[in-house]
Amino acid sequence: MAIIRLFIALKVEELQPKIAQFLEELKMLKGKISWVPLENVHLTLKFLGETEESKVARIIKTLKSTAKSYPPFKVTLKETGSFPSLNNPKVLWIGVKDETETLINLAKEIENKMVSLDYPLEKRGFKPHITLARIKFLSEPNKFKTLLEKYLQINIGEQQIKYFSLMKSTLKPSGAVYEELERFYLKGGKKDGLAEF
């Protein structure tokens, strides 16, 4: 039985140029920093992990019905920080805000539906964010902290969310390669299924 690595995500393609602009200064920092390629930037709604390929059809059917319960909504990429803290940065992120709470409700329903398909419940609460980089060490930690403090309240911009995606992740020596398996349009969005590019 073939095993594939899956996750459910929101994409923010329209904001990629602004994200790139924001990262220009930060990318001058020295150290062992793994930057997420711009085309891979996403918000994870639910990480499914290792999955038998035979299960994919059930996941798709469940997510299609979930998507139809939610209207399109706007998200704003604003505020940045690092996990676990500014003094001990391991992950650089940017926050994702949604005034209608549609995003939170959608993530919660996806979580519950995936638990019903035997995926483990995520013990950490859902904190909407986009990972921009993973940090092993910084040559100039104080410079990083100063830069991030400068951008804590940054507002990258907003984007209308019309769909979410089931993504396949293939780990390669050069990094993860993502492939969109299916696109789930929200109520009033385009037709179901994978859109034409």
- pLDDT of res. 197: 29
* Catalytically annotated residue among 11, 46, 129, 183: 129
Q: What's the pLDDT tens digit per position in 6-17?
A: 999 999 999 999
For the cut 70, the answer to whether the pLDDT of residue 56 exceeds it is yes
Structural domain count of the chain: 1
Amino acid identity at 82? S
**pLDDT over threshold 50, residue 193:** no
Is 45 contained in some domain? yes
Whether residue 192 has pLDDT greater than 70: no
Mean pLDDT of the chain, nearest integer: 92
Residue 196 predicted with pLDDT over 80: no
Both tokens of residue 149? 């403090």
Q: Is residue 175 part of a domain?
A: yes
Question: What integer pLDDT is reported at residue 125 of this predicted model?
Answer: 85
- In this structure, is residue 191 part of a structural domain? no
In this structure, what token pair is assigned to residue 62?
């469940």
194 in a structural domain: no
Annotated catalytic, 120?
Answer: no
Proportion of the chain above pLDDT 70, given as a percent: 95
Q: What pTM, to 2 d.p., does this model score?
A: 0.91
Give the pLDDT mean for 128-148. Answer: 94
Question: Crossing angle of helices 102-116/56-67, nearest 10°?
Answer: 150
Query: What CATH number does the domain containing 144 carry?
Result: 3.90.1140.10
Task: Tell me the residue type at 41.
Answer: V
Is 193 a domain residue? no
Domain span holding position 88 = 3-185
Report pLDDT digits (tens) over 80-127.
Answer: 999 999 899 999 999 999 999 999 999 999 999 999 999 999 988 899
- Catalytic pick among 11, 42, 46, 183: 42
**Could you tell me the sign of the dihedral formed by the alpha carbons of 8, 12, 13, 17, in that order?**
negative
Reported as a pLDDT band with limits 50, 70 and 90, residue 191 is low
For residue 71, tell me if it sits in a domain: yes
- 42 catalytic residue (yes or no): yes
Q: Are 128 and 42 in contact (CB under 8 A)?
A: no
123-5-162-189 Cα dihedral, nearest 10 degrees: -120
